[in-house]
Amino acid sequence: MERFKKLVDDFGLPNFIIAGFLVILFFLTGPAGIRIDKSFTDIMFRFGINAIMVLSLVPMIQAGCGLNFGIPVGFIAGMLGSVVSLELGVSGMLGLFVAMIIGAAFGLLLGWLYGELLNRVKGEEMVIATYIGYVIIFFFNILWTILPFKNPQSIQSYGGSGLRQTISLEGVWSKILDPGTIIDPLSKRPDTLPVITVNSYIQIPIGMILLFAFVAFLVWLFFKTKTGTAMTAVGSNPDYARAAGININRMRILSVMFSTAIAAVGLITYQQSFGFIEMYGAPLGFVFPTVAAVLMGGASVNKANIINVIIGTILFQSLVTMTPTVINSLIRIDLSEIIRVVV
């Protein structure tokens, strides 16, 4: 009994309840007539799509900057990387990685500015970050209409200027990392990475999972360095860090730059999976699901790790995937949108 209580305390009672709810949903897939293996595939793909965005929260949390409600700063960098990659006319796997490199570079630049601002509002980071997220989105909504992009795939069909609301990536780097779905079989996509196919329904996207593993490894490796250890010390005990001669403001700025660069890569991963770039206000829709996922994994406002990211993303995406599907099938009424909002 004591061991069970310790397990609940370590994992968190709310997360334990959510995990129990998911187990019940999986048991209900049989009566609902839903294939559990297909649901597993959906969850794996959703994990691959979203995990890097959730991972981007870790550096700022570890440095004591709180939950990054200003993550749209990184998303804007990712959007810049994507449209610049299209403008350069680079396609295929190379085009995807060019977009990620450019997006990460813009992320470092915007992250530096963002970090400088957060250093001036210590103690109110999460509130100010929320405002910053909205401000940068609406500021770039203006820039998207006046920046001199010329690629016909990106600009409005009328007027010849201003970026489209939705930019298709078909024939460029759409689904490069996650081919092999039932709709888009691997045999038709020789330029892409393979998937592990267990049967007609269970498929594991190697590309996205390997990319997440690589980025997660870089984050883990960074926090094993002297700079990463100093950053963690700043978040855990600022007074001790200051007494040890650590430049607190510098560590906080570095954490913000790191977070925004990872967020840029995460958004580009999401874009390639869906096959299009959503411009203008679209990034605002990722903020709260991303923060909710890392919290569901057991993170707090000043401590998070890669395990929290993995558990939280799986829990959140399982909840989003399974709940509407199972409940709709059981009661025969389409409540999917209502359930998604509640979740």
Measured distance CA(84)–CA(195) in Å, rounded: 29
pLDDT at 12: 66
* Spatial contact of 310 and 298, defined as CB atoms under 8 Å apart: no
Distances in whole angstroms, Cα of residue 100 to Cα of each of 93, 97, 135, 155, 281 = 11, 5, 24, 21, 20
Instruction: Give per-residue pLDDT as tens, 128-158.
Output: 888 998 999 999 998 888 888 888 888 876 6
Instruction: Give per-residue pLDDT as tens, 39-51.
Output: 777 888 888 889 9
> Model's pTM, two decimal places?
0.86
Instruction: Give per-residue pLDDT as tens, 188-225.
Output: 444 455 555 555 666 777 788 888 999 999 999 999 99
